[in-house]
Structure 1
C-alpha cells in the first residue's frame, strides 16, 4: 500500500513537471515570434519551437539568431533556463521518479518483505554471523530451507544474489516474524553477540508460537536464565562450550578413552594414541577385535579422517574414534591404564573466556595447566597459574612450562595469531599435541596445515549444538567436520548385510552400531543382516553423509 501511494505521488509529480516544461517551451516559442517581429522578421510557430529547443538544449545550430540586444538578452534567458530545466532537472526527475522506482521494484523482488503464505518447515536466522552461516549450510544440505531476516535492503539484495533466502525487516519487529511465517517455522536461531538484543528478539518471537524451537547464544553466563525466561528452548554459552571441547582433546599424557557423548545407547569415545601401546602398529597388529571385542570406527590425524581397516597404522598423532558399550569402554581403559599416573601439564595460550573455560575443564579432570595472557594481573580464580607476557617470547613460554608440557591449547580469538603460534610451537616442539580455536571455518584447514592436531571453530560448535537440539540428539560432533549420527535404516539397506551393501566402500561411512528390536549390536559384524525397522549409528563427514544418502536413500 505504501509503495502504491509513493508510485502515484511520483507519477503526479512527473506529469506536473512535464506539463510545466511544455508550457515553458510554448511560451518561449511565442516570445521568439514576438521579438523576431520587432526586428522586422516573421517566423512561424514551428520555427519558434525549433529555435527554443535547440537553444535550451545548447545545440545552437546558429541558423536563426537575433540581431538586437533585446533578442540576445532573451536568448540568454532561454539558454540558462534550458540548462537548469533540461540538462539538470529533467535527468534528475527521470532518475528519481522513473529509473529509481524500477530499480527498487527489482530489488524488492530479489529481497522480499514477505514469504508466501504456504511456507512451512523453514528455519529463520536473525543475524548473519559464523554460527548462522554454518547452520545454514548444514540445514540446507538436509533439505531444510533457511531464511535470513535483515533490515538492510542492500545487504538483502547482495545475499539474494549469493543464493540466500531473505526477508527484509527488523528482527525485533513482530510484523517481521508474521511476514516470515513464524507459525510454520521449524526453528528460529538468535545468534547475535548482544545478549540484551537476543532477549528482545526471543521475547518478540515467543508470543506467536509456544512450540517453535528458539535457539539463542549468550556471552555472559548470567544471561542464560534471562534468555530461558524470555522463551528460548536452547541457550548456548558458546565460549564455554568451545573451551570445554578444546580441553576434551587434551589427554594430559594419558591414553584413556574419553566419552564424547551417547547416541542410542552407544558411547561415542575418542582415545589418543600418544602414550599408548598401539603406536607404530596397524589395527590388525594391535588386535582390538580379538583382545577387546572393540571395533575402531576410524582414525583422525590433523584434520584427516581415515576409515579404520586392518592395515591402518597408528601414529603418535592418531586419535582413535570408537563406538563402545559401557563394558567395552571399561576394558579399554583398564588395558591402557585409565586416568592414572602423572597427568602432565597443559599450556593454554589466551586467557579470555575460552581459555579459562578450557582451564576449568582440565582442572575438573585433575590436569594441571598454565595460562599465558598478554596483559592482565593475577586472577584469584587462577592463582599461580597465570603467566603474563607474549606467547611469541621464548622466555614467557619457558616460564609457563612449555618445554615439558604434554599439550598446548591456543584459544585467542584471532585466527592469524593462532596460525602464527601453531607454526611457532610446532617448530619448538615437533611432537607436542596442539589444539587450536578457529574463529572462522575457512581457517580450519590452514590451522591443520600449520601443524595443529585438533581444531574447533565457534561457528561449528554453535551450529552443531543447535542442529543436534533440533534433531532431538541424533547428531554428535566429534571433531571439526566429523560427526556421529543416528539414522533410521534407509530403504537401500533393509534386509541386506553390511558386506552385501558395501557401506564403507560406497559411501565412506562407518557403521559403529545397529539398533534392532532384540537389542543393540555395537561393532556389528559384516554378515549382520539389517532390519527393516531399526537404527544405525554412523561416523560421517558432510561429504560421506551425502554419498550415503545417494547410495541408499534418505531415511
Structure 2
C-alpha cells in the first residue's frame, strides 16, 4: 500500500501537467474573487435593507448559498436582495457543482489514476530473465505461440506502447511490459542481450523501424519478421532482421502442395538432419484399399509409415490400418527412400487425374500464393475473386462471389479435382466449405483457418484438410528457435529429440512398445555421430543414444512424462 506521502509525490512529479496546474490556479483565483465580490455585495444589500452583519457572516452566507445548502437562517426581504440570492445560487451551481468537480477530476483524480495504472503496468523484466522471446505485436498468432511456449517452459514478454492494452493483457495473466517500440532503452529493459529471439509481426513500415531500433540496442539477437509486401523483403533484411518470412505466401504454397490428384509425389514437410518427413496422398494409387501390412512399403521402399491423416485426424498406424481414398500417409525416410516410394506409385511425374482446373476461392495474398504455386507446377487453376481489380489481372481469375452458383460453374466446380478456400474470414470459409461439399460430395476441399479453434469446425463442415495460419507461424518460429531439437509439422504434429531414459537402456525397440504406451513413433536413433533412420524393431538401445520421435503434442507430453530424459541431459524444446 502506497503511503500518502508517496501519492502526493507522484502528483508533484507530473511536470508535463504544469500548464494544467496554471489553469487550476487561475480558476481558484476567479472562484475566490467571486466569494469576495458576493460577500461585499451581501453587506451592501443588507445595509440597504437596514441590517448589519459581520464579514464572517457575509462569507458564511455566500458559501452556503453558492453550495446550495441554503440553511435559510439569513435571507433578504427586498426584491433586489432576492434577485441577488438567485444570481449567487446559479453561479454556485455552475462553479461549485459543475466546474469544480470537473477540475478536480481533470487535474487531480485522473492524473492520480493514470499514475496508478502506470505503476501496475511493468516497465521492465526481472534482471534474471534470460532465454526468453520478445513479442512486439499481440494477436491470435501470438496467443497460439505463447500457449506452445508454455508447454516447453519457455519464457516470453509482450511489448506494447499502449498503456491500456498493457493493463488488459496484464489482467489476463500475460507477461507484458509497456514501452516505446522505437526506443533502444526499452529493449535494454527487456534484457535483450539475454533474449533468445524477438518476434516482430507488425506491419512492414513499423517492423522496419522496430528492427532498426533493436539493432541499435543489440546487434546479435535473433529476430523473426513477417513481410506482407514483396518489396519489404529486402528492406527488412537491410534493416537487420535475421529471418524475414512471408507467412501468407508460405501458407498458400503449403495449401497448393496438398492438392490430391495433381502429383503422386510425397511432399516433404520437414527435415531433421538426414531424416525427411513427408506426406503422401494415396488417392487412386495401388495403395488404396490395402492395409499397411499388405502394402509392404517398408520392405519395398525403406520408408516407414509413422502416421496417418484421415479427414483431419492424425493417428498412429498399426499393421492392419486400412489405407482409404482420403488417407494421407506420413512417411519418414531418407531422400533415396522417398525417391523409391515416388517411383513405386508413379510419383515421378505430375499428373492430373481430373480434367478440370483446381478451383481457388479468394484472390488475396494467400490465394495469389496458391495460384503462383500451381502455375509454377504447370497445373491449371481458376481463382474466384470478388474484387474487380484483382480479377482483371489474369485470365485464370473469375470475377464474382464464391457463394454464387453461376460463378462457381464458370470456374469449373463440377470438373475440378480440388477446391482450395483461402479467405481470411473463418465464418466465410465454413460457409463455402458446406456449400462446395453439397455441390461436389466427391471433391477434395482444402481450407485455410485463421484461428485454431475453427479447425475442427471446418473439418465437420466437410473440409478434407485444414491448415491454420497461426499454427504455421508457430511451427516456423519454434523450428527456428531450437533447430534440431524439435520440428513442428502441420496441425500440432511434432518431431522431437530426447536423450534415452536409463530404464530403456539395453532394451529392444520392439520390447518397450513406444507406440502402444505413448502414441509416439520412433523414427530414428542417434548413436554418436550416426543417425539410424527407421531403425529395425530389434535394435538394442545403448546408453548415450538419443531418440527421434514423431507424435502429436499430447503424445509428446505423455512420452516425456513416462520416459523423462536424464537430469544432466534433459531435452530442450
TM-score by length of 2: 0.83
Query: Does the 8 A contact of 1:266 with 1:522 survive in 2?
Result: yes
Q: Map 1:127-526; keep pairs closer than 5 Å.
A: 127-193=137-203, 195-289=204-298, 292=301, 294-340=303-349, 342-344=351-353, 345-376=357-388, 385-472=396-483, 474-483=485-494, 485-489=495-499, 491=501, 495=505, 497=507, 503-517=514-528, 519-524=530-535
Greater mean deviation of Cα atoms: 372-381 or 149-158: 372-381
Residues in 1 aligned to 2:320 and 2:73: alpha-carbon distance in whole angstroms: 97
Match of 2:4 in 1: none
Greater mean deviation of Cα atoms: 418-427 or 348-357: 348-357
1:147 aligns to what SS in structure 2?
A: strand
2:372 aligns to what SS in structure 1?
A: helix
Query: Does the 8 A contact of 1:253 with 1:274 survive in 2?
Result: no
Query: Does the 8 A contact of 1:57 with 1:82 survive in 2?
Result: yes
**Aligned residue pair count:** 552
Mark the CA change 1:470 to 1:292 in structure 2 (over 3 Å): closer, same or farther: same
2:14 aligns to what SS in structure 1?
A: helix
Q: Give deviations 1:92-134, integer Å, cap 9, x for gaps.
A: 2332233223321232133233334444332222223343333
Query: Does the 8 A contact of 1:263 with 1:486 survive in 2?
Result: no
Greater mean deviation of Cα atoms: 170-179 or 263-272: 170-179
Mark the CA change 1:401 to 1:69 in structure 2 (over 3 Å): closer, same or farther: closer
Mark the CA change 1:524 to 1:13 in structure 2 (over 3 Å): closer, same or farther: farther
Mark the CA change 1:492 to 1:452 in structure 2 (over 3 Å): closer, same or farther: farther
2:427 aligns to what SS in structure 1?
A: helix
2:229 aligns to what SS in structure 1?
A: coil
Match of 1:76 in 2: 86
Greater mean deviation of Cα atoms: 61-70 or 95-104: 61-70
Query: Does the 8 A contact of 1:513 with 1:537 survive in 2?
Result: yes
Among 96, 109, 120, the alignment partner of 1:99 is 109
Mark the CA change 1:379 to 1:75 in structure 2 (over 3 Å): closer, same or farther: closer
- List gaps (5 residues or longer) in structure 2: 1-8, 565-569
Mark the CA change 1:214 to 1:253 in structure 2 (over 3 Å): closer, same or farther: closer
Q: Give deviations 1:464-488, integer Å, cap 9, x for gaps.
A: 22221222354444323323x2323
Greater RCO (CA < 8 Å, at least 6 residues apart): 1
Residues in 2 aligned to 1:365 and 1:138: alpha-carbon distance in whole angstroms: 34
Mark the CA change 1:13 to 1:221 in structure 2 (over 3 Å): closer, same or farther: closer
1:403 aligns to what SS in structure 2?
A: coil
Deviation at 1:530, TM superposition (A): 4.2
Deviation at 1:454, TM superposition (A): 1.5
Residues in 2 aligned to 1:94 and 1:377: alpha-carbon distance in whole angstroms: 55
Deviation at 1:236, TM superposition (A): 0.4
Mark the CA change 1:69 to 1:389 in structure 2 (over 3 Å): closer, same or farther: closer
Query: Does the 8 A contact of 2:361 with 2:420 survive in 1?
Result: yes
Query: Does the 8 A contact of 1:347 with 1:371 survive in 2?
Result: yes
Residues in 2 aligned to 1:518 and 1:338: alpha-carbon distance in whole angstroms: 33
Deviation at 1:261, TM superposition (A): 2.6
